[in-house]
Amino acid sequence: MTLPKTPSFRLDGKRALVAGASSGIGTGCAVALAEAGAHVTLAARREAPLQALADKMGAEGFSVDILPLDVADIAATDTALSANGPFDILVNSAGLARHTPALDTTPQDYDAVSDLNVKGAYFLTRAVARGLVEAQKPGSLINISSQMAHVGGIDRAVYCATKHAVEGFTKSMAIEWGKRGIRVNTICPTFIRTPLTEQTFDNPERVAWIEEKIKLGRIGEVSDIMGAVTYLASEASSLVTGTSLLIDGGWTAD
């Protein structure tokens, strides 16, 4: 009898692009991929935080460089990825939220959120996939979505709409590129403690709502995402595509 062998979670020799890498979940994803052996390109709009992160990661012995990038600028993103790719792995953690009651949503807020969360994510994913197709390489493309892609949320009509859209194009792209060995998935976190979520956690009513919904009884941490992104980026998930990995503490279980 020959025992089965666990596929490798290692990413040695792989190039990974992490958009939105300068803080929060993006930073956690970048570190996780680097720990697994990937060369990580850190991308975000602001160069100074990227360089600071690259310096810290480099000091730990990780292979890393930076690429200042505004994902909402489609033409510039296409040009940058054409010049710097192909990337074997994409993690898109760039995103925006402007939470208001639906009756108070402005067209400006709607456009700002959807331009980044949907349009930017769509064309960034396409740009990385195009590089893989041209190089005739397989790859793993991961968009950081949200549990709100599967449920509704208070004051989150626009945000929920954008994340539901990400789930839709993820499935379609996975179908289209599957025979090329390009996998496309999402990670859907619950509320994660980051600088961007501080305002939510300062609201006692919101905290009570969150704690009631999360069945495991605690707020998410960035570290909760790190194992998941390594899994989806690696050969350990080689038969996983067109789906979402929910890291929600049981929020969507009922």
| Position 170 in a domain | yes
Cβ proximity of 158 and 118 under 8 Å: no
Helices of type H across the chain: 24-35, 47-59, 74-84, 107-114, 121-135, 157-177, 198-201, 204-213, 223-233
Report the number of distinct structural domains present in the chain.
1
Active site residue 159: yes
At 202, is the pLDDT very low, low, confident or very high (cuts 50, 70, 90)?
A: confident
The pLDDT, as a whole number, for residue 201 is: 81
| Position 237 in a domain | yes
Indicate the residue type of 152.
G
| Position 157 in a domain | yes
Mean pLDDT of 205-230: 92
Catalytic residue among 110, 122, 159, 231: 159
Cβ proximity of 78 and 127 under 8 Å: yes
Q: What is the pLDDT of residues 94-126, one digit of tens each?
A: 988 898 999 999 999 999 999 999 999 999 999
| Position 127 in a domain | yes
Q: What is the CATH number of the domain that holds 165?
A: 3.40.50.720
* 130 vs 204: which has the higher pLDDT: 130
Token pair 């619950």 is found at 190
Q: What is the pLDDT of residues 123-180, one digit of tens each?
A: 999 999 999 999 999 999 999 999 999 999 889 999 999 999 999 999 999 999 999 9
Domain that includes residue 78, residue range: 15-193+222-247
| Position 211 in a domain | no
Q: What is the pLDDT of residues 31-68, one digit of tens each?
A: 999 999 999 999 999 999 999 999 999 999 999 999 99
